Amino acid sequence: MTVGPLDIRVYLFHDQKLLSEYSIRLNLEREGLQRYLYAVAFGYPLLYGVTVVVLSASAGLLAARIGRTTGA
C-alpha cells in the first residue's frame, strides 16, 4: 500500500550561501503494523471503531484506577 510519491529536496548551505542542491522522488509504502491497521480500518470500519473505543475506555479506566491507588 503506497502512501504516495514524495518529492524530496535537500539543500546544503554554508555561511548563508547555497553550495549544493539534490532532488529525488520517493514512493513511501506502509509496512508491518501500520499496514495491518490500515487494512483493518478500511476493510472493517465498524470492527475497528468498536475496538478503538473499547481500548480507549479500558486505558482510561486503568489510568484512573492506577491514579487512585497511588494517591496522585
Report the number of distinct structural domains present in the chain.
Answer: 1
Side-chain-side CA neighbours of residue 49 (13 Å)? 5
Q: Residue 72 has what pLDDT? A: 56
Q: Which residues contact 27 (CB under 8 A, 6 or more apart)?
A: 2, 4, 5, 6
Give 3's pLDDT tier (boundaries 50, 70, 90): confident
Residue 28 identity (one-letter amino acid): L
| Residue 2 in this model has a pLDDT that exceeds 90 | no
Encode pLDDT of 19-71 as tens digits.
999 999 999 888 999 999 999 999 999 999 999 999 999 999 999 998 887 66
pLDDT of residue 37: 92
Q: Is the pTM of this model over 0.75?
A: no
Which DSSP helix (H) or strand (E) runs through 40? Answer: helix 32-43
Cell reading at 40:
483493518
By residue range, what is the domain housing residue 38?
Answer: 2-70
The pLDDT, as a whole number, for residue 71 is 60
